[in-house]
Every structure is written in structure tokens, then in C-alpha cells.
Structure 1
Amino acid sequence: MLHGCARDPEKHSVSELAVSGTKSMLRTDADMQKVLNKYASFDAKAVEKTTPAEARMQPTIADAVKGVLADEKRDSTPTVLVPGITTRDITVPGAAGSLPATVFTPNGAGPFPVVLYFHGGGWVFADRKVYDGGARGLSKQANAVVISVDYRLAPENKFPAAHDDALAVYRWLTTNASSVNGDPKRLALAGESAGGNLAVATAVAAHKAGLTAPRHVLSVYPVAQSSTDTESYLKYADAMPLNRPMMLWFISQVTNTPADAKDPRIDLVHANLQGLPPVTVINAEIDPLRDDGAQLETALRSAGVSVERKVYPGVTHEFFGTAAVVQKAQQAQEYAGERLKADLAK
């Protein structure tokens, strides 16, 4: 297991917001805490007490980042925050119809390697626009085209709808990468949270289907197993912005029966992971899903897959897309870009 940089005590503050109900106090990076403070100021309703429709209207960590930038009188325009990336919206074929997607393209002639990226949100809410920061940052750091897709959401489209969409889009990409100035021989998969699960699950499904293999899989704080009783789930049960009650709510919205949670597309640590390309797992320290990443790393190693995992101290779930204001997020995006570039360049 690889870990992030050591903490600088002068750059951390004791956080009652990152984890509000635990006995032990956690030290959160000051810049991460600033985002959490802004997020808390929105006074949003607890997700587990909302309907999916209400949850989709709630403020996000992306909104908190914009709020911090506004407080600091900084420009929040994405092209200013991450220069050198152009975007265009397209539609791509999902498993049951067309899906909206955004193509992020770095400056240059191409063709570029292509990263298919899946956003987070527990398979229930959020979209590619909420997760613009992560996808845009990856395009910059990996010098690759990134396609961020809006797969179908639960509960309107329960499991395995999102997984079916993810595989359908990847199947399309294997023969249509040139349409986005991409190289069909240099493909990768990436995602955050629920999307981190989709990235690995899609690699497994692509291998099983005999599709062109991705060169690399980036899985950022993924959902990787079905138990909510791990050490990190219990330690960070009240964490912000993701906590244990929220995860239980997500599971109830996504699954048809308890058996769905045990399906290897969700329960990745019990999937057949043999034959996968190199995988990078990124975790936040203050996150119920931290141990999901650890279990996934162990399962991948047991399957003979090359894997690196980094845990970033002092930050929480959703930190990856906050690079405009959080230093560890910038570091994580740079690390992810290096890992992707190394395999996509071969």
C-alpha cells in the first residue's frame, strides 16, 4: 500500500465537520476544511431523509468549491482553472438509448489516448457537470481525451442499468475513438465513487466480452464491496460529505433485492479480477469507503493484477475534483495523470 505525503501539522485544523459524531477528533487539511465549512453553510437536508428527486436538488461539493473561490474573489470559470482543455457535448449509445456525454480534449493535434470517465453520486444523483473538476483535471494531467458520460440513474433505472450503460459506452468507444480524435488502441477507464466501481466493473465485463482491453483503470474512492461494517465505515459513520446512512440509502435506491448488493459488479472484491490491466486506486483518509479501496487492492493483487493504491491524509470523500482549492486534490490528479500516461504511452 502506498500512502500520500506526510501531514504538515501547521496546515491542519481539528475538524468537527469532517466527522461530527465520533469520539476521536480528526485533523483535516485547512483547505479541505474550508470546502467542508462552505458545504455545511448550505444547511442541506440529510440525503437519507430525502427522496431521490429532492437529493438531486441539493448543493454539492462542486458548489462548495465555487463558493470558496467566490469568497477568495477568484474566477471559477473551468477554462480559467484548467487552461488548455476544450470541451464539447455529444451523445453516445447506452444500453437502452442515447446518453449525454462531454468530451474533454487537450491542446494538440492528436490522436490522443482516450479515458472513459464515470461520475459519482451513488448511482442515484449528480452528473458529468457536477464532476467536471475530476474529468477536466484528468484530461490535463494525462494529456488524453476524456469522455464523461451520464449513465442512467436509480431508482428509476435500478441495478444493473448503470453498469449496462457503462459497458455499452465502452463497447462503442472501442470502435469509435477516432470520432473524438482518439486512438482506439490506447483506451483507459476511470471514475469516482460509484463511478470508481463502474470503471473496474466495466474492465471486468470488457475482458469477459473479449473487447479491446483498456490500458489502465483508475478507481477513485470506489464502492468495492457490499458490507457497511468495515472499520472505516464505522469510524467515519458520520463523515461529511459521505456517511454510512447515505450509503445505506444509496444501496436501497439502487438494488432490487439484497442479492443485488452481492452481485460481483457491485461486490468487486469477489469478482473474477484476473486478466485486468494495471489499476490505480485512490482513497481519502476520512471516508467510509477507505477500506473498500484497501480490500480492492488486496483482491486485485490476489488475482495477479498490477495495482498501486494511495491514501491521501487530511481529506474526505469527493476531494479529487476540488483541485482548484485543495492541494491534495491537485496532487492526486497529477498522480493519476502520471499513472494513466505511463500505460497509455506504451
Structure 2
Amino acid sequence: MATHLRNASTLCAAALLAACAPSGGAMQPGAMPMDPGAAATLARADADMRAVLEQHMALGPRPIETLTPQEARVQPTPADAVRALLERMGRSTAPEPVGRVEDRAIPGPGGAIPVRVYTPAGTGPFPVVVYSHGGGWVIATIDTYDASARALTNAAQAIVVSIEYRKGPENPFPAAHDDAFAAYQWVLQNAASLGGDPMRVAVAGESAGGGLAVATAMMARDRNVRIPVHVLAVYPIADGDTESPSYVENARAKPLNRPMMEWFFRHYLRGPQDARDPRISLVRANLDRMPPTTIILAQIDPLRSDGEELGARLRQAGVPVQVHVHQGVTHEFFGMGAVVADARTAVQQAGTALRGAFAR
């Protein structure tokens, strides 16, 4: 796989504001020199990840931190890069098949919450995973993270309910958190109507959604709601501070870096005080009596230290926790199983942890 992707890659990376050469790896005349952050990321990434990053750069995304939220929401995404890379390789771009997919709406504190329900093939009742997508609480949708939800459905042999929570700045903190918790409560009450088992419900998420998953479990514990049987947090935002070792190490990394994270905080939080809220700075929260947790991290990611510290804090609180750090990959790798081998490994780790929790 790695060799195939290396051959398929253009082996060129332009600056994010410039176009990549259409073939052969040569820079177009007058093209800007490669962004130093992009160059450093490519040098550390493994072959699979590098091919996706190069393809993403070739799509010409503008730096998120220089845009308005409305502009940022229409930029090419890493998921777009995966599809483009598959097309260049002559491979199918069809989504991973699951038994059934249904879009519907459920009640929420700010109005109806759109959700997408993925059901595995076979006969239920199935366990259920309430999944929150990434995007810094500002950008991205359930469509952007469709590949992750499908992969989890099959790996965990569970119904996945993917939530389209409200986003900032139109709906600032704690709107997304309130929606995630409302969706979890709805699933507890309505799992049977989906073909699910209300006694086997877990929470999961990526990036901002990984933080939402942990915060949902905390809110359930604190509000006397049945807690999830497991928490899956994939490179979660777990700290409002951007001075950790991985923030310093990956300050200009792609596709996520410190300026982008500061932009996300600025557009979702109401002010600096919210960065200290335990629902944002999970590493400073009371983590006693939390469910068993699996944390999946990427080496080339400013959020790696967030996840490592969260794992350490959970252990100190006596919570069973597993932390998996994947080398040579970046933020957003988890849903890239079609082209990134480590993503398939990470999904298997997540599926194994969830199936074990559901069996208990």
C-alpha cells in the first residue's frame, strides 16, 4: 500500500495558496515556495499520509485562520483529498458499505438536531455509539466525517448515531456540548426504536467531537444519567491551553496547527474564561467515576499532548484507559482507512475496545 501510494503521489507540495503541478512533481513557473510547516509535516509523515497531504495541498485550501467561518466551511478538506487520491489511483470512491443509513432529526435544546443513523448488516438489537464529528466546533459536518462513522459501524458492529450539533460563532459554547448531551439522552430513551440496545450505549468522537464525547460522559455522571459503557476519544481537544509540548512541536503542522486551534477557540468560546471550563479543559476536570476510555492519537498533531495528558489524568482517577499514539500520521488520519494503513489499525483498535465494552 505504501509503495503504491508513493508512486501515485505527485511528490510535489505547493504553498497552500498556490497550485501544485498537475503531474511529475515540478513546480509551475512562478509558484510560491513550499510553506515551511507543510515541508516539515511532509518530512515526518509516512508514505501513506504524505500522499494524502500532498493531494490536499494540490486542492489549494487557504489557511483557515485567515478566513471567516463561512469561508472556512467551503475549503477543501482532508476527506476531499482522500477522494481525489482514490480517483487518481483509479480506485472506487464509493463509501464503505454498511447495512443501512438513515437521516433524521431528533429534539434538541436549540431546536431539531440532524443525525445520521448507520446500522450494521445483520440482526439486532445492536449496541449503539453516539458519535460527534470534528471541525473545532465551527466547521465540518456529518458528511465530512462519513467515512469514520461507517468504519466504526462495521468495526464495532454497532449502530452509530452521528450528530450535527450546533456550531460557533452563530451558536457559541456550550451549544455543541448541550446538543451532544441531548443526543446521548435521546439515544438512551429511543435506542430500541433504532434496533439498538439501550443498556449498551457508548460515546465517541474526533477532535472537537472527541472532547464532546468525554464531556458528555462527565455531564451524564454529574446529572445522574446512566453513563456510557465506553468513551472513544480520537485526538480530542482536551485543554484550552495551546502551550503544550505537542503544540510547540507542531505549531505549523498540516492539516491542523496552533493558529487554527486559536481560531477555533476564538469562534466557539464566548471569552477566555470558557477555555478554563472543565467541558473544554478536560485535563483539569474531575474525572472520577468516568467510563473506561480509549484514546487514539496522531504523532504529528498539536492535540497529541492533550490526549496524552487526558489519559494520564484518567489513570490517576482510577479509570481504565488505553492510549494509542500512531507514528507518522497527522490529525484527521482516523477516517482515511481507504488509503492510510495506520487508519485501518486505529479503527481496529477502536472496534476492539468498543466490542469488549459492549460484551461486558
Same fold, TM exceeding 0.5?
yes
Take 2:36 and 2:328, find their aligned partners in 1: how far apart are those partners?
A: 12
Q: In structure 2, what is the equivalent of residue 184 of structure 1?
A: 198
Q: Aligned match of 1:227 in 241, 248, 253?
A: 241
Question: Residue in 2 aligned with 1:196?
Answer: 210
- Mapping of residues 73-88 of structure 1, within 5 Å: 73-78=90-95, 82-88=96-102
Whether contact under 8 Å (2:97, 2:150) holds in the other structure is no
- Which residue does 2:325 correspond to in 1? 311
- 2:56 paired with 1:42: no
Query: Please, which moves more after superposition, 21-30 or 321-330?
Result: 21-30
Amino acid at match of 1:32: M
Structure 1 residue aligned with 2:172: 158
- Once the two structures are superposed, residues 40-97 of structure 1 have per-residue CA deviations (whole angstroms, 9 ceiling, x without a partner) of 001111100000000001010110000011001111111xxx2343211111122211
User: 1:111: which partner in 2?
Assistant: 125
Pick from 340, 345, 348 the counterpart of residue 331 of structure 1: 345
Percent identity between the two aligned chains: 49
Q: Distance in 2 between matches of 1:316 and 1:274?
A: 30
Scaled by the length of structure 1, the TM-score of the pair is: 0.93
Whichever residue aligns with residue 71 of structure 2, its letter is E
Q: Which runs of 5+ in 2 are unaligned?
A: 14-33
Q: Which residues in structure 2 correspond to 1:13-24 (within 5 Å)?
A: 20=37
SS, match of residue 337 in structure 2 = coil
Q: Which moved more, 1:14-23 or 1:205-214?
A: 14-23
**CA 1:341–1:56 in structure 2 vs 1: closer, same or farther (change >3 Å)?**
same
Unaligned 5+ runs, structure 1: 1-7
- Please report how far the alpha carbon of residue 20 of structure 1 lies from its aligned counterpart in structure 2 after TM superposition: 2.1
Q: Which amino acid aligns with 2:353?
A: R
Partner residue in 1 for 2:72: 55
**Aligned mates of 1:114, 1:163 — CA distance in 2:** 19
Q: 1:289-343 deviations in whole A, cap 9, x for unaligned?
A: 0000111011111111110000000100000011111100011001100000001
Distance 1:184 1:237 in 2: 42
Q: 1:313 to 1:9 in 2, by over 3 A?
A: farther
Secondary structure of the 2:298 match is: strand
Find out whether 1:67 has 2:84 as its counterpart.
yes
| Counterpart residue number, 1:33 | 50
Q: By percentage of residues, which structure has more strand?
A: 1
CA 1:24/1:329 → structure 2, altered by over 3 Å: closer, same or farther?
closer
**What count of residue pairs does the alignment treat as equivalent?**
336
SS at structure 2 position matched to 1:20: helix
Change (3 A) 1:330 1:15: farther
Q: Write out per-residue CA displacement over residues 8-52 of structure 1, whole angstroms, 9 at most, x where no aligned residue.
A: 999999998897278798431111111100100011111000000
Choose 298-307 or 140-149, whichever is displaced more: 298-307
| CA distance in structure 1 between the aligned counterparts of 2:322 and 2:251, rounded to whole angstroms | 26
SS of structure 2 residue aligned to 1:219? strand
8 Å CA contact 2:180, 2:212 repeated in 1: yes
Letter in 2 for 1:177: A
Amino acid across the alignment from 1:236: N
- What amino acid does structure 2 have at the position aligned with 1:336? A
Task: State the Cα deviation string for residues 172-209 of structure 1 (Å, max 9, x = none).
Answer: 11111112110000000000000000000000001111
SS in 1 for 2:144: coil
**Any conservation in 1 of the 2:108–2:179 contact (CA below 8 Å)?**
yes
> Aligned partners of 2:44 and 2:5: how far apart in 1?
9
Q: Distance in 1 between matches of 2:327 and 2:212?
A: 25
Q: Which amino acid aligns with 1:46?
A: P
Write the distance in 2 (CA, Å) between the matches of 1:136 and 1:249: 29
Listed one character per residue, the Cα deviations across residues 258-281 of structure 1 (whole Å, up to 9, x for unaligned) are 000100000001111111110000
Q: TM-score, normalised by structure 2?
A: 0.89
Partner of residue 356, structure 2? 342
**Residue 114 of structure 1 contacts residue 147 of structure 1 at CA under 8 Å; is this kept in 2?**
yes
Partner Cα separation in structure 2 for residue 25 and residue 56 of structure 1? 24
1:19–1:26 CA contact under 8 A, matched in 2? no
Cα distance, 1:23–1:86 mapped onto 2, change above 3 Å = closer
Among residues 289, 308, 319, which one is paired with 1:294 in the alignment? 308
CA contact (8 A) 1:11 1:29 kept: no
Q: CA RMSD in A?
A: 2.1
* More RCO (CA 8 Å, sep 6+): 1
Secondary structure at 2:45's aligned position in 1? strand
